[in-house]
Structure 1
Amino acid sequence: MLMLKVVIKEIAEKGKWRGSYTYGYRRIMPLLEKAGYHMAEATLRRLMNELGVQPAMYNRRKNNHYSSYKGTVGKVADNLLNQTFDATSPFTVLHTDVSQVRLGDSTWAYMSVILDQATKEVLAASVSQSSNKLLIMDTLSQLEDNLPNNFNPIIHSDQGWHYQLDYYREKIDSLGLIQSMSRKGNCLDNAPMESFFHLFKVESQPEIKKCKNISQFTQFFNKYVNWYNNDRISNKTKNMSPVDYRTHVLAA
């Protein structure tokens, strides 16, 4: 039992981000099995609790859910995905959204992100004090730099006002992207983005409050995205990081 606890602790330590444990029992279990340890989920959860390596929880209500929906202010695209999140090839289906967090100085920071559905890799991420056109266009500019040639993926968003307007639609059209939108008020239609922002807030909440201005938060968020892309493993990507999984899939 002592050796088992040592192995659990070692695995959990590899998943720490800024001093916080991020690996839940679902991610630790297959790594234990790979190391030759087999047990019930309840046993693993108990041992993780005894070791103090349980990941933090996040209060969604306390931190407020951001919505950029302002009704129909432009063109609403069809929902091409219909909650079908089964893309297996990189750069075929992308998701995008904006979320917010409250900083240590009580101001808000807004994050705009574009995520690859198949690999969970963040392909573009931008931060601003305002959820405005510049935030969205900067994110698309990053995507333009990171998206390989000869790919024409679907890009799915909610019905936020940014995504309905001409400047957004014209930009994604120039990049060869195919627009798709969630149904009104249905966050599950864009579940991969909801999942990413939830993970970020769970894994970073103690550090977010330490950011006293937008500059500090931008540096912190960029470091998180780099860690998430290159180091954070997931059972959804065969216990690889998003970048490693993308490399693995493209090489197959």
Structure 2
Amino acid sequence: MERYSRVKRNQIMQEWKEHDYKLIEQYHVQKNWPIREMCQILSISRAAYYKWLHRKEKGPNPDEIELIEKIQELAKKKKRLYGCRKMSRKLKDIYGIEVGVKKVYRIMARLNLLSVYRPKKHTWIKSNPGQTAENILNRDFESTAPNQKWVTDITEIKVPKTNQKLYLSSILDLYDRSVISWKVSTKNNSVLVDETLREALEKNPGGCQLFHSDRGFQYTRPVFCHWLEEMGIQQSMSRVGRCIDNASMEGFQGIVKDILFILHPEINSIESCIQAVSETIEFYMNEYPQERFHGKTPAVVRAEAFKTDHPAEYPIQPNLRIQKFWKKIEQKNW
């Protein structure tokens, strides 16, 4: 039993109890055995048995049946991508059903519909920096308006059923976590990075105030650094071997790759993978609500921000686990 989650254990225990309740009901009706003695033998409270019996006679709650049907419908449609929080948001947005996250979790666990999303572990390789910039961002991922801080990186995507790889280069705005631009290529080179930035500047002619990346050779090239300088964009780079300095981008890449293979299990070629990446980013922008934005998608938050001179602020809630981790690191350094 210990290998199961708490909700699953409770479900199994409830099924066992219900089996006993049915036995008591059966033998009481067929053989007129006394309920009191059967409850004592099975170590069951008579009050619990009668509560089950009256609930059984009334039949299932229509609201509960509707809720379960909607959860099953959404889970099937989105291939179990949504967790309990996003499922709760979608139930409210699409069907107007307001239900607590814990209740949604219990139902999803009972029906084996919990999200198949799992964070993946990555191995990062240190690079020898060329022309570098200071870590000006310094893990300050807060932004009060669009186009203040952009972060970028390249991630590798292994194409299923082939020995081929794709490289996804993307630029993310830290205000609304929107994908400003993205490019896919079979080659991890400077052209890929240049095209990604060029598209971002075409869509946002004013550029951004701060541009943060790791110390990959594509970003440390003098010509690339000079390009940013001419645009009046301040360049920032992560410290060597410190992927946490670009944590927002790393997290986004993990989410995109998980969604990619959940929504598109049929990928079997370079062409189908590129199309799937495009549809995945479209899904992330327009159909992937985020808790920090009160259930809004990045596209909605960005659109709202450009309609006003005073965009709404979405502060990042402190992560106590990460704070505790860094506190331990500081104590070790002392």
Counterpart pick for 2:147 among 91, 107, 118: 91
Computing the radius of gyration over CA atoms, which structure comes out larger, 1 or 2?
2
Q: Secondary structure at the match of 2:137?
A: coil
> 1:120-141, CA deviations, whole angstroms, 9 ceiling, x for partnerless residues?
1101101111211111111111
Residue aligning to 2:83? 24
Residue aligning to 1:147? 204
| CA distance 1:222–1:37, shift in 2 (3 Å) | closer
Matched, 1:137 2:194: yes
Output the amino acid matched with 2:83: G
User: CA contact under 8 A between 1:97 and 1:112: conserved in structure 2?
Assistant: yes
Residue aligning to 1:186? 242
Output the amino acid matched with 2:256: F
User: CA contact under 8 A between 1:27 and 1:239: conserved in structure 2?
Assistant: yes
> 1:134-191, CA deviations, whole angstroms, 9 ceiling, x for partnerless residues?
1111111111111143x53211111222111123212323333211111211122111
Identical counterparts, % of pairs = 24
| CA distance 1:128–1:46, shift in 2 (3 Å) | same
Backbone CA RMSD of aligned residues: 2.8
Aligned-residue offset at 1:77? 0.8
Q: Which moved more, 1:217-226 or 1:29-38?
A: 29-38
| CA distance 1:46–1:15, shift in 2 (3 Å) | closer
| Distance in 2, Cα, partners of 1:40 & 1:98 | 35
User: More relative contact order in 1 or in 2 (CA 8 Å, sep 6+)?
Assistant: 1
Normalized against structure 1, the TM-score is what?
0.84
User: CA contact under 8 A between 2:259 and 2:280: conserved in structure 1?
Assistant: no
Unaligned runs of 5+ in 2: 1-60, 309-334
Residue aligning to 2:38? none
Q: Which moved more, 1:126-135 or 1:214-223?
A: 214-223
Normalized against structure 2, the TM-score is what?
0.65
Q: Secondary structure at the match of 2:292?
A: helix
| Distance in 2, Cα, partners of 1:11 & 1:201 | 24
Q: Which moved more, 1:217-226 or 1:51-60?
A: 51-60
Residue aligning to 2:50? none
Q: Secondary structure at the match of 1:179?
A: strand
Matched, 1:215 2:274: no
Aligned-residue offset at 1:242? 1.0
| Distance in 1, Cα, partners of 2:148 & 2:113 | 36
Aligned-residue offset at 1:50? 2.5
Q: Secondary structure at the match of 1:111?
A: strand
Q: Which moved more, 1:22-31 or 1:32-41?
A: 32-41
Q: Which residues of 2 match residues 150-161 of structure 1 at below 5 A?
A: 151-161=207-217
| CA distance 1:51–1:25, shift in 2 (3 Å) | same
Matched, 1:51 2:147: no
Output the amino acid matched with 1:53: L
In the alignment of these two chains, the number of paired residues is: 245
Looking at secondary structure, tell me which structure has more helix per residue: 2
Residue aligning to 1:114? 171
Unaligned runs of 5+ in 1: none
Q: Which residues of 2 match residues 199-238 of structure 1 at below 5 A?
A: 199-206=255-262, 210-238=266-294
Q: Which moved more, 1:4-13 or 1:164-173?
A: 4-13
Aligned-residue offset at 1:228? 1.6
Q: Secondary structure at the match of 2:306?
A: helix
| Distance in 1, Cα, partners of 2:294 & 2:261 | 27
Counterpart pick for 1:76 among 132, 141, 145: 132
| CA distance 1:140–1:56, shift in 2 (3 Å) | same
| Distance in 2, Cα, partners of 1:118 & 1:16 | 32
| Distance in 2, Cα, partners of 1:70 & 1:10 | 49
| CA distance 1:6–1:117, shift in 2 (3 Å) | farther
| CA distance 1:200–1:206, shift in 2 (3 Å) | same
Output the amino acid matched with 2:111: L
